[in-house]
Structure 1
Amino acid sequence: MSRFTGRSGPVRLGMVGGGSGAFIGGVHRIAARLDGRFDLVAGALSSTPERAAASGQEIGLAPDRTYHDFKTMAQREARLKDGIEAVAIVTPNHLHFPVAREFLKRGIHVICDKPLTATQAEARQMARAVEASDALFVLTHNYTGYPLVRQARAMIAAGELGQLRVVQVEYPQDWMADASALTSKQGEWRDDPARSGAGGATGDIGTHAFNLMRFVTGQAVTSLSADLQSFGPGRQLDDNAHVLLRLADGARGMLWCSQVAPGHENGLRLRVFGEKGGLDWSQENPNRLLHTPLGEPTRVLTRGGPGTDTAKFTRLPAGHPEGFLEAFANIYNAAADAIVARRGGGAVAADAPGLADGLEGMGFVAACIRSSQRNGAWVTL
């Protein structure tokens, strides 16, 4: 039995984007339904009417709740007695703001894929739209949903590492190492500044690495020095970045993100070192967190195992691996908790990334570009 059984009824959910062949749309749908917290009842899954209809039929949406454009969907769903309470936005980056605006102004909660927007100007407009709405806004930096990421954050907040000194985060992939990647559905829009924004790998996966580092350490980045490259022939946006970081409390950091690193599939890894010890976590082996107290042997903490406080975020007993989809579902569950609380008139914020995280991510991308254009000069965020 799910640990969520017994709470108020499922949240009625809509989706914009995520039609046939879209990887991230399928991930959001699985995460939303994993614990029975959401019912997907409406969608504008493609901007092409034929594909929108076919995609809606494929996932079981009623024809009259399958829309050809998001504006019509927002207008009609807001009028329906049983209309959606929340919408998941899983479009290319340039549509995040215009889609979110239509739903926010009608009081419909927004669960948006990252990054926040394509441009900083749109990010500022998004901030105004969120602040003017009574609706919740959740940004799916899903790696913060891993139980042992939450464990690492708690340990650092409790002072188990002491004063932080060094933070290293990396996110290498290899799926864009070949030029043919730009002809795929996932790749072709990511190298288009009009749809992706000014950042390539920095916006796509660098923002994840940056957000993970911020979430776990709790420390802001005050300045950075970046070196961005576009190794793929004919590419308009970066596919590799090396970034040096200065953190608010004096720690120093390094961030590497790359989509042209053969042998790496989804190698997000975070290492944090303080005066009392260090932590090491890898997304490809997420059920283990290495903790090394200074001068002592390394301890292996496991999800749900001794010495951890992760029961709230886990579904299976220790030793039964959980991973990417479950972590994603934890973000959706946090959103559902907040939405259900709002049903009863409560003003509860979601225990998940939101507007502030998105604005910081956009600032990070912009600072990386400014620094790299100035030959790696240090710039403030």
Structure 2
Amino acid sequence: MMTNDRQRPIRWGMVGGGRGSQIGYIHRSAAHRDDVFALAAGAFDIDPERGRAFGLDLGLDEARSYRDYAAMFATEAGRADGIEAVSIATPNNTHFAICKAALEHDLHVICEKPLCFTTAEAEELKAVSKARGRIVGVTYGYAGHQMIEQARAMVRNGDVGEIRIVNLQFAHGFHSAAVEEQNPATRWRVDPKFAGPSYVLGDVGTHPLYIAKVILPHLKIRRLLCTRQSFVKSRAPLEDNAVTLMEYDNGAIATIWSSAVNAGSMHGQKIRIVGSKASIEWWDERPNQLSYEIQGEPARILERGMDYLYPEARIDDRIGGGHPEGLFEAWANLYRRFGFAINRERGLGPAGIEDLVFPDVDAGLEGVRWVENCVRSADAGGVWLDYR
């Protein structure tokens, strides 16, 4: 039996992510992987009875399977064993209100992206989290793959040289037709009332944007140009394809292709960093490998779990080289970092995590800011705009 706060899991709740939710299942699987979190309560569904039944199926006490998030936050706050953190896995338009309410009840928050719809809202959440001393994590789940940390270390240690070109894409083909006509899970994503000011820019484009920030933390966007299209016309004014050009403050350039209409593509998230010495490339369909291409030498493939990787990458190793890891491990790595960060705020974190890298409230804010700037550029006719 756990004997003290340092050893016991963080008491954790969920809003959304109920029966049939793929993302809810991923959250729970990742959170429980390392026993850092223990599910204690939930408000899983907009239908209270359906949500209550699902909570019982998960083994929760019926009294802690709530009709809505407001009831859960209020009741749990009065319990000696109340939840300490909450994950938000609901449609985009609800994130801001739920996140703010959670912070105001002194809960740490792990939120699906986008964190909210506007930079002003994101700044408000940042201010509340700072005032309350609470962590806000954003589930850019792909950033938990081990080889992202390897790429970050390679750039920092000069293996790639001066960064010149950054090519990013997340371009799948699953919505190349109007699938939302038959699929409610997709329908809200193309409705501005629920999805906000963008579809693919916010839904997929912010993922490689954040990974690039992890690998290249020293680069700042100076200006950008975005053009967006609605190839499935019924999705207008939301885009299902967009191309963004960016200039960094060191003179490097970047492109991000965000798309749901790349017919035939399974996932299509790729990150290529081109430097003066070499290039590195990561593809999320082959996440256990990182391509390392030195000019004038044969290309080499670095494999996860191997001793030749930098220590920062090996920290995330779970099962040794040769065994493929996937999305659940990547998400579990993020949840472990969220847990370390929460425990650090509680004065319980292990030593040596002062430089812990995880998608925090600033990462959520930056994703919202980037989408705003892209929409602003695209709606002005695809023009260069100073990044703000």
CA distance in 2, matches of 1:185, 1:350: 38
Q: Who is 2:67 aligned against?
A: 68
SS of aligned partner of 2:372: helix
Q: Who is 2:297 aligned against?
A: 296
RMSD: 1.7
One-letter amino acid of the counterpart of residue 261, structure 1 = N
**Identical aligned pairs, as a percentage?**
38
CA distance in 2, matches of 1:307, 1:250: 32
Q: Who is 2:259 aligned against?
A: 258
SS of aligned partner of 2:55: helix
**Shift in Å, 1:325:** 0.9
Q: Who is 2:346 aligned against?
A: 343
Moved more, 118-127 or 300-309: 118-127
SS of aligned partner of 1:190: helix
Residues 214-239 of structure 1 deviation map (CA, whole Å, 9 limit, x = unaligned): 22122121111111011113113111
Contact 1:139 1:355 in 2 (8 A): yes
Moved more, 121-130 or 66-75: 121-130
SS of aligned partner of 2:189: coil
Q: Who is 1:317 aligned against?
A: 320
CA distance in 1, matches of 2:74, 2:81: 13
SS of aligned partner of 1:181: helix
Q: Who is 1:115 aligned against?
A: 114
Moved more, 199-208 or 306-315: 306-315
Aligned length: 376
Residues 272-302 of structure 1 deviation map (CA, whole Å, 9 limit, x = unaligned): 0100100011000011101112211112110
CA distance in 1, matches of 2:43, 2:205: 29
CA distance in 1, matches of 2:129, 2:355: 13
Residues 82-118 of structure 1 deviation map (CA, whole Å, 9 limit, x = unaligned): 1111100111111111111111112111111111113
- Counterparts of 1:9-158 in structure 2, within 5 Å, are 9-158=8-157
Distance 1:349 1:50, change over 3 A: farther
CA distance in 2, matches of 1:336, 1:371: 38
Residues 319-378 of structure 1 deviation map (CA, whole Å, 9 limit, x = unaligned): 100011101111100011122233336796853111111111111111111111122110
CA distance in 2, matches of 1:208, 1:180: 22
One-letter amino acid of the counterpart of residue 44, structure 2 = L
SS of aligned partner of 1:156: helix
CA distance in 1, matches of 2:146, 2:355: 20
Distance 1:145 1:9, change over 3 A: same
**Shift in Å, 1:131:** 2.5
**Shift in Å, 1:190:** 0.6
SS of aligned partner of 1:189: helix
Moved more, 324-333 or 188-197: 188-197
SS of aligned partner of 2:257: strand
Instruction: From 328, 335, 343, give the equivalent of 1:332.
Output: 335
User: Can you give the 5+ residue segments of structure 1 that lack an aligned partner in the other structure?
Assistant: 1-5
Residues 38-64 of structure 1 deviation map (CA, whole Å, 9 limit, x = unaligned): 111100011211221122123222211
CA distance in 1, matches of 2:206, 2:131: 26
User: Can you give the 5+ residue segments of structure 2 that lack an aligned partner in the other structure?
Assistant: none
Q: Who is 1:247 aligned against?
A: 248
Contact 1:179 1:233 in 2 (8 A): no
CA distance in 1, matches of 2:12, 2:183: 29
One-letter amino acid of the counterpart of residue 273, structure 1 = V
